[in-house]
Amino acid sequence: MARLNERPIVFALSNPTSNAECTAEQAYAWSGGRAVFASGSPFAPVALGGRVHTPSQGNNAYVFPGVGLGLLVSGARRVSDEMFFAAAQALAGQVSQGDLERGCIFPGAARMREVAAAVAAEVARVAHDQGQATRPRPSDLRLETARAMYQPVYGT
């Protein structure tokens, strides 16, 4: 792959880590640090050629919570292909230039709730646009999805 592609894409998505098709270190070493790498299991950053490469972990946790929340907010009872496409675009829109420079193709896990709200707003927008929503369209879908999101706050 590295002979044919400037930035070979390696998605070693098998779980657990012991079953991964290759390690992050192998992908970066075999490609001279040019690989775009994501795995199904976590891998530590890899130092190679004076640069630290941060592998991404491809996980459905970036999309499915937002899809579910978007359906909840809109009241849609079916998920369309367009909703999943909108969810993927919303996720891609949450990847920063800094993420890309570190070699990450997903936003950091610390931003998971923010990402879920962005995905949910787009899924709800598509549900409304397609006439699949059973709830009224709020004036601010992003705000409504953030309000509807579970808040893990416990009383004292």
109 in a structural domain: yes
In this structure, the answer to whether residues 36 and 104 fall within a common structural domain is: no
The pLDDT tens digits for 125-137 are 999 999 999 999 9
pTM of the model: 0.79
pLDDT exceeds 90 at position 46: yes
| pLDDT tens for each residue of 72-82 | 999 999 999 99
Indicate whether 30 and 99 sit together in one domain. no
Domain count, the chain: 2
| Same domain as 85, residue 13 | no
Statement to judge: residues 134 and 69 lie in one domain: yes
- Domain with residue 80: its CATH number is 3.40.50.10380
Same domain, 89 and 19: no
Q: Which domain holds residue 14?
A: 9-57
Same domain, yes or no: 95 and 31? no
SS (H, E, C) the chain: CCCCCCCCEEEECCCCHHHCCCCHHHHHHHCCCCCEEEECCCCCCEEECCEEECCEECCHHHCHHHHHHHHHHHCCCCCCHHHHHHHHHHHHHCCCHHHHHCCCCCCCHHHHHHHHHHHHHHHHHHHHHCCCCCCCCCCCHHHHHHHHCCCCCCCC
Same structural domain for residues 68 and 140? yes
